[in-house]
Amino acid sequence: MSNNNYGAENITVLEGLEAVRKRPGMYIGNTGKDGLHRCLGEILDNSVDEFMAGHATTFKVVMRKDGSVLVADDGRGIPTDIHPKTGKSTLETILTVLHAGGKFDQNSYQFSGGLHGVGASVVNALSDILEVWVSREDDIHYMSFSKGKSSKELVKFEKEMLAGKHPEIVEHIMGDKTGTVIAFKPDYGIFEDVGFDTKEIALSLKQMAYLNKGLKIVFVDEKEGVEEEFCFPKGILTYLEDITKKDTLLTPIIHFEGGEKNFVLEMAIAYASDNKEKLYPFTNGIINPEGGMHVTGLKTAITKLINNYAQQKGFFKKDEKFTSDDLREGVRIVLSIKMVDPQFTSQSKVKLGSTIARKHTDRIVMEKLGTYLEENPAIGQTIVTKAQLAMKARFAAKAARESVLRKGVMESMALPGKLADCSEKDPAKSEIYIVEGDSAGGSAKQGRDRETQAILPLRGKVLNTERATLDRIMNYEGIKNMIIAFGTGIGDKFDIDKLRYHKIIVMTDADVDGAHITTLLLTFFFRYMPRLIEDGYIYMARPPLYKISWTKSKFVYVYSDEEKESAIEKIKSENPDKEMKFEIQRYKGLGEMNPEQLWETTMDPAGRLLWQVTIGEAQAADEIFEDLMGADVEPRRKFIEENAVFAEVDM
């Protein structure tokens, strides 16, 4: 029973940065890799703000061998004088007090991506060690912190003295200029992941350089001995050129800028021959992967503009009209806005919430893109023709989808002769195995737990959905069966709340063909049902590759050649006085296992191995799927050449 004595003594007051350490997710989203990278992003955002204000040209990011990261810039340097309100140095105030910074008005920064002073102090609170060097005029100021509290008072060096006191930092002070160097080591007692993803960080830095014309970024990975430099004087125009290098473009890249003092928009757009949309929206140099009001304004503007253009030029029959989806097929867009005081829906800035951005984006895109199309009618006709093809495909896909949904309703979501459903009706307790072929499907059906495990065998070759239109996809039997079994529908009818199984497990043979089928299925999920991956419902089973027996009753299952050799050595070492005779069974397919073996090794929740599929960094994942499954042969050939050395061939 709860205590009815509820008074002042029950109220906890957290001082300083204690709240950040107590509830870090409120400030950085989570304590996994994304949160770890968000900490680095907060420091980088401050350096970018200096660049956008015209006070910096270069900065450096160093991933150090000890797990810490260093960020240096040649901006004005954090102020070090005494702050009148706190009585402490301004440097200490910024790093130890929430909501202390120079971004609450437009006097220091017109456009800013930072969190109004929250960012640096939050990073400090979540760092085991944070050190700062500030170069201003003829002196270097230094201060260190631990877990948000100062561990050393602010000290001042003459520049020539720094080499003797901190020789490891000298190379990062950029000449005789002013600037700031911040090095921090995250508190891994708080963070779940134990290191930065340097490849992902390098990609983000390159993206940052694209978004800020002329900014020079130097990236150093001390562990790998890698140093890269990014600088793009043409900014997002170069960005879209690089994004579309592998594409067959139907239009040239259309690039324009517009706006006024408090809102500036820059955009690059082109149409490719495929049906995929690639849209990269940014606010004040920060990517917004979930879009926001500027994206809403963009889509509204393009839909109105192209519909009006098609009507005026006589492309439409009576009452015809494009949807936003029709005009997004094949489009490639980089949208960058800079605005005063952007409001994001969360501290991690994944979505812009400022409603004024929708109005300004709509107006500028209508004006600039409209003028371009009037001056280039051939390009306008190409875009309309592309949209007309998408509209026809939409009608065909709708008819096919409705056919699938009708089939599902008529058959009460059952697939006679294929789906062996489970008896459990609670999705949270139910799982479905997508199995390769009838042989493995038969073993799985016999060996499963009938209460909670459903089995859906796939027959024949799985369709490569990377290259197929939705109407063709909807006519493929294997995919229709999955859609009906899942219960979610697809496309604009997709409803995650209707999902019938909270574990969708892809179970294929442990060979190259099995890996190929898995990749084809993941391609479909990634392109057409990404929510299943985002919400953590997709898994891959890991069947054993070998069964090693050394007596009639003693055996072990292993999952790779390395594990096989290790297991044999271990068994020998545990039986030094015996002459061991091993019987090794190589499983070339799931169908070679009897139901009991399949249950014991791959389906029993108590002992099975499952890999949960995650999307990870969306742009990198998108490029991987496009390279491996797309129409362009060259990237796939290059991948095979570079990785063939790791492949094993069954004889």
Instruction: DSSP for 91-126, please give it.
Output: HHHHHHSTT-SS-SSTTT-SS--S-TTHHHHHHHHT
Q: From the candidates 513, 565, 569, 632, which is the catalytic residue? A: 513
Determine whether 242 is an active site residue: no
Distance CA 538, CA 441 (A): 19
Which alpha helices (H) appear in 529-594, and where do they start and end? 530-534, 561-574
Distance CA 136, CA 139 (A): 6
- CA trace torsion 375, 378, 380, 381 (10° rounding): 150
Contact 215, 207 (CB under 8 A): no
Give the tokens for residue 165.
């006191």
Q: From the candidates 436, 466, 617, 626, which is the catalytic residue? A: 436
Determine whether 511 is an active site residue: yes
Contact 507, 435 (CB under 8 A): yes
Distance CA 384, CA 322 (A): 9
Contact 474, 400 (CB under 8 A): yes
Select from 181, 184, 83 the least CA-distant residue to 132.
Answer: 181
Pairing of strands 555-558, 69-73: unpaired
Determine whether 561 is an active site residue: no
Q: From the candidates 222, 325, 367, 511, which is the catalytic residue? A: 511
Determine whether 622 is an active site residue: no
Distance CA 27, CA 126 (A): 10
Contact 178, 136 (CB under 8 A): yes
Q: From the candidates 221, 247, 266, 509, which is the catalytic residue? A: 509
Select from 53, 55, 38, 134 the least CA-distant residue to 94.
Answer: 134
Contact 71, 181 (CB under 8 A): yes
Name residue, tokens 């820059």: 266
What amino acid positions are annotated as catalytic residues?
436, 509, 511, 513
